[in-house]
Amino acid sequence: MVIYSAEHLRGIRVVVTGGGTGGHTYPALTTIRTLRARLAVAGTEPELLWVGVAHGLEAKIARQEGIPFQAITTGKLRRSPNLRELGRNFADAFRIPLGILQAIMIVARTRPAVVLSTGGYVSVPIGIAAWLTRRPLVMHEQILTLGLANRILARIADRILLSHESSVDHLPERARARAVVTGNPIRPEILRGDRGRALAAYRLDPHLPLLYVTGGAQGAVQVNNLIAEILPDLLAGCQILHQCGEFSFDRMRLIADGLPEHLRDRYRVVDYVHDELPDVLAAADIVVARSGAGTVAELTALGKACVFVPLIPTGGDEQRRTARHLAEAGAARMLAGPDATPDRLREEIMMLLDHPDRRQHLADTARRYGRPDAAAAVATAIIDAAGRYGS
């Protein structure tokens, strides 16, 4: 890494693109925050412009963070489309050239020192515009394989940032020399949780192992159903904090009320875990979760013993691929497809509860796959690309 002077870092102009889902948007946001913090130490700040779609999550996040935002028109090419989506692909094919033209105008007018792309179909026009206007393009991929947008951009990106070592094998041969494994940026507050705060907030027993069950912000009906079938058995050996999502909350409350009286105090069900998530993760001894890219990045960075129940199907089946990759490395347990039954989940959790040494080994192995400094590594790649362009 080249060390740049404060003067050289002053006013770095960055165009950020990526969005559509939280998996693309939040790594970009975390990187922006890290970049701002890095440059603030040098007494300066980046000049930012986030480019996305008008009604995407990225537009909302940019407004909340005070980041200038500009929308473009673009289309999405769907993989393995059905008959209905074929028609949508056809319509969107006419929108893509318009989006590229808008993107070229934005990049030419903004003249960024570097363009950061975190994926999603909105990133393709800006990435192509960066290439056409000879601006450095830094591309980040969150998942094990490459999404469709990043498969396109990998051929033209100046630097390809990956979350997993094995992702290099999914790149075109010519692109591999431009690849760096940085990990997937995670919020720094995730690493600063306090176990005691979580125990106090949810009135948990400090002497009992804590199982945290989560299906993400919206919950996961499949995971909720599995847990509902085996609650009494699990509660005999641990306490459970269950983030079930709004849709399943009333049902899980009823199930909680029907538990034997001596087990009710061991089960806490909530629809959503808010700012206290870092504390909850710090307190958790075992986590049952989906295996989305952001979730996996956080749990491995923390070194948590996890049982993953991947969402199937997802685009490219990346959740199952990621969970299998970690399971085969001894860094997680996975239940997918016909194996995702209440009995099998009970067996996995009870094994980890009954054998703390196995639980610890799983957590230690998971930590070896975590990259808590990923956001700093991505910010460094941006600064380096900007420095090379300006040198």
- The CATH number linked to 289 is 3.40.50.2000
Residue 390 has what pLDDT? 54
Structural domain includes residue 1:
no
Same structural domain, 11 and 144: yes
Task: For residue 297, count CB atoms less than 10 angstroms from its CB and return exposed for 0-12, middle for 13-18, buried for 19 or more.
Answer: buried
Structural domain includes residue 209:
yes
The rounded distance, in Å, linking the Cα atoms of 367 and 297 is: 10
How many distinct structural domains can be found in the chain?
2
Same structural domain, 274 and 363: yes
Residue 243 has what pLDDT? 97
Low-confidence ranges of the chain (pLDDT < 50): 1, 391
Structural domain includes residue 333:
yes
Same structural domain, 179 and 37: yes
Residue 217 has what pLDDT? 73
The rounded distance, in Å, linking the Cα atoms of 227 and 175 is: 44
Query: Angle between the 356-369 and 293-302 helix axes, to the nearest 10 degrees?
Result: 120
Nearest residue to 294 via CA among 108, 163, 120, 115:
163
Looking from the CA of 313 toward its CB, the CA atoms found within 13 Å total 5
Same structural domain, 267 and 139: no
Q: What is the pLDDT of residues 241-254, one digit of tens each?
A: 999 999 999 999 99
Residue 389 has what pLDDT? 65
The rounded distance, in Å, linking the Cα atoms of 11 and 80 is: 43
Same structural domain, 81 and 44: yes
Same structural domain, 278 and 323: yes
Same structural domain, 270 and 345: yes
Residue 174 has what pLDDT? 94
Same structural domain, 82 and 169: yes
Which of 120-148 are b and which e, b meaning 16 or more Cβ less than 10 Å from the residue's Cβ?
bbbbbbbbbbbbebebbbbbbbbbbbbbb
Cβ atoms 161, 117 nearer than 8 A: no
Which domain covers residue 231, as residue numbers?
191-369
Same structural domain, 294 and 308: yes
Structural domain includes residue 269:
yes
Same structural domain, 17 and 164: yes
Which of 193-217 are b and which e, b meaning 16 or more Cβ less than 10 Å from the residue's Cβ?
bebeebbebbebeeeebbbbbbbbe
Residues 6+ apart with CB under 8 A from 24: 18, 58, 118, 119, 120, 123, 142
Strand ranges (DSSP E) for 230-342?
239-243, 267-270, 286-289, 305-308, 333-334
Residue 211 has what pLDDT? 98
DSSP state of 128: H
Structural domain includes residue 323:
yes
Residue 387 has what pLDDT? 86
Task: Assign 13 to helix, strand or coil.
Answer: strand
Same structural domain, 110 and 162: yes
Residue 391 has what pLDDT? 41
Structural domain includes residue 290:
yes
Same structural domain, 12 and 156: yes
The rounded distance, in Å, linking the Cα atoms of 28 and 115 is: 12
Residue 97 has what pLDDT? 86
Q: What is the pTM of this model?
A: 0.91
Structural domain includes residue 181:
yes
Residue 2 has what pLDDT? 53
Structural domain includes residue 214:
yes
